[in-house]
Structure 1
Amino acid sequence: MGGFDERNGAVLGDGGVAHFGDPFREQRWLAAGEALVPLDDRAVIEVAGPERLGWLDSITSQAVGRLAPGESTELLVLDPQGRVEHAAGVVDDGSATWLIVDAADAEALAGWLTRMKFRTQATVEVRDDVALLGFVDAGAASERIRTIDGALVWADPWQRVSAGGYQYAATAEHPGVDLAWRIAIVPSGSVPALAATLDDGEVAGLLAAEALRIAAWRPRWASEVDERSLPHESDWLRSAVHLDKGCYRGQETVSKVHNLGHPPRRLAALHLDGSDAVLPEPGAPVFAGDDEVGHITSVARHHEEGPIALAILSRRAPVGDLVVRSEGVDIAASQQVIVPADAGATAEVPRLTRLSRRPTAPDPRRTSPSA
């Protein structure tokens, strides 16, 4: 991103500026809402036209038909077997709907949407004249974004269970609640001047953003999705699936797994032993004893928690300590369950009155459809 990658100390990595010289301090600045992150590893698709919202509602997992201007949400595109093909953050400005996606998926998603238009009055375009800036809505970074003409801000819905969604994580203190993550869509021409005005404590790299995401148990298409991924496995029903909307491709599988079965895999958080100074790469195998039970999907060094990772494990993997094998080194991993092995078959299936007249207490992990 012009202006940021030219700063002194900028270290480039996959997809953009990895850090500006001090990843741990940048995490602290970012978490405090003081720093902006240039998100060159994301892209934007603009969907315009009078029928855009109803059309997107009919072909994706989220209820967006009545999305209000400025309102944010998230959607998935599933294949007929309910597996995740694409994921996007969504915000509407009243005349167009903007989809924030991982850059590697932008052309594929735009192509799929274009093929699905048929007679729909909508246009689909990957926008190369805008830039994306990530920040936490807790400090001065928010004020800087407000000074940019034409900025549109997406608020990550991961902070809470969305209307019509469901959380499998059985915890009263979900770490996602503490991450008020925002992404601003800004004109590319505004970036160089903005970058020139920022001090060292006001910028952060992609490593900082990833560390906060992983600590919040937040799944991402570029990391947690493969050809087998169901949204249930990574607790994505929390923010990207509306269980009470009409039919869409893959909806039958989503409903069947949630109401009657269990996903074959589950997302877990791992706290890694850092004594060997080896940080495993995504894809590193995870073992329980001699049995390989999964693999690492995302990994980072967190400024407070140390080495952390997300891993996709077999549903039958034990819930205790595990081992990650990387570069011939076995790394001890303390497991924190995100999606439990018995996830699924937990929805409030209506009971016949003649079988039980007792009222059922509401499940705090699910929001009301009218929320």
Structure 2
Amino acid sequence: MTGFREIDGAVAGEHGVDHFGDVFREQRRLASGHALAPLDDRTVIEVAGPERLGWLDSITSQALGRIAPGESTELLVLDPQGRVEHAAGVLDDGSSTWLIADAADADGLATWLQRMKFRTQATVELRPDLALLGFVDGGTAAVRATDAAARPAGTALVWADPWQRVSVGGHQYAVIAEHPGADLAWRVAIVTHEAADALAATLGAEDLAGLLATEALRIAAWRPRWSAEVDERSLPHESDWIRTAVHLDKGCYRGQETVAKVHNLGHPPRRLAALHLDGSDAVLPSPGDPVFAGDDEVGHITSAARHHEDGPIALAILSRRAPVGDLVVRADGGDIAAAQQVIVPADAGSVADIPRLTRLSRRPSAPDPRHAV
């Protein structure tokens, strides 16, 4: 989407346009539904063929066998031990299933899907000819993006992020009356590069938001992402991703045994937390910066941003046994005090609610006289 990079004020970063001049203004405009965000950091994969949905259902964490045209969801690909390997948003239009993946993950996901096809009547194709525009529903940005995504032979391809609520078959570990994700009606329109560049020619910096703004809204909503919150150890439970990306009641798929075991019989070894950082310093931590409780290292930063309302914020993966209180982030510029807000509690999973049988080696205790008949 070269057109957006040429707009006055555009500042390009490693993965796309970071901002268009004023990050906080962009966040406010984006949150209100009046700014579009070119998402050069994501890639589209098209899966076509009559057996595509049943096949994807059988090899991923999400129930896709009966997804309706126009319906949106998301999926994870897990390894045999239940660890997250790939992630993607899912939109079906009745003839193709469109996967939206982080750019760094797209090649790996497409290659894995190709290897898993066997004799399935399905095709897998990376679509570098397509671009992605992010926006929050309800404002002028939705009209512009939907018009750009319109297709001659069908409805516009617009993915609705399911993070606003717990999906059917999902489960939320966060114990909170009002989840911050409920307020983020995030949408992603799939458009041709030609349509994106034509739209860019009609817009100014005041109509746009960069990747720094989209990340700030995502972090504030506690929304996990493959390129940030996933490492070689990640289980979906740890970042509350079962909320929208895992169907706990569907049939067998790779990694399902671990998903069920951790959910029903144990606790995830790590947990995602939201951090409100001391804003008196200009330093913002980087992904990978260690988090300490006293002298003990208890985790690391996965994402950080400056939010237009909340100030400096971050997501961190912590040890399950990390204390719930205030923490310290050790960044290059010095230590940063961090107030912790629990997302995934230490007792996530159902182990505390499952009655345990008395061990056979134990002698039965005397009956409680209060229960005597």
TM range (shorter): over 0.9
Aligned to 1:8: 8
Q: C-alpha distance in 2, partners of 1:210/1:243?
A: 28
- Pairing 1:163–2:168 present: yes
Runs of 4 or more above 2 Å deviation: 148-151, 346-351
1:212 is paired with a residue whose SS is helix
Residue-pair matches, total: 351
Q: Deviations over 1:122-171 (max 9, x none)?
A: 00000011100000002111111232232300000000000000000000
Aligned to 1:319: 324
Trace 1:1-371 onto structure 2 (pairs within 5 A).
Answer: 1-148=1-148, 149-150=150-151, 151-345=156-350
The higher radius of gyration belongs to: 2
Aligned to 2:359: none
Contact preservation (8 Å) 1:258, 1:347? no
Unpaired runs of 5+ residues, structure 2, are 357-373
2:309 is paired with a residue whose SS is coil
Contact preservation (8 Å) 2:42, 2:101? yes
Cα pair distance change 1:349/1:331, threshold 3 Å? same
- Percent identity between matched residues is 80
Unpaired runs of 5+ residues, structure 1, are 352-371
Q: Deviations over 1:55-95 (max 9, x none)?
A: 00000000001111100000000000000000000000110
Q: Deviations over 1:213-261 (max 9, x none)?
A: 0000000000000000000000000000000000000000000000000
Q: C-alpha distance in 2, partners of 1:60/1:192?
A: 34
Q: Tell me how far 1:23 sits from its aligned partner.
A: 0.5
Contact preservation (8 Å) 2:78, 2:85? yes
Q: C-alpha distance in 2, partners of 1:131/1:40?
A: 7
Q: C-alpha distance in 2, partners of 1:295/1:147?
A: 41
Contact preservation (8 Å) 2:302, 2:315? yes
Q: Tell me how far 1:200 sits from its aligned partner.
A: 2.5
Q: C-alpha distance in 2, partners of 1:260/1:15?
A: 40
Contact preservation (8 Å) 1:35, 1:141? yes
Q: Deviations over 1:27-57 (max 9, x none)?
A: 0000000000000000000000000000000
With normalisation by structure 2, the TM-score equals 0.92
Q: Deviations over 1:87-135 (max 9, x none)?
A: 0000001100000000001110000000000000000000011100000
With normalisation by structure 1, the TM-score equals 0.93
Cα pair distance change 1:89/1:349, threshold 3 Å? farther
1:269 is paired with a residue whose SS is strand
Q: Tell me how far 1:348 sits from its aligned partner.
A: 8.3
Contact preservation (8 Å) 1:45, 1:124? yes
For 1:218, give the aligned amino acid: R
Q: Tell me how far 1:328 sits from its aligned partner.
A: 4.9
Contact preservation (8 Å) 2:45, 2:124? yes
Q: C-alpha distance in 1, partners of 2:101/2:2?
A: 20
For 1:338, give the aligned amino acid: I
Q: C-alpha distance in 2, partners of 1:86/1:282?
A: 19
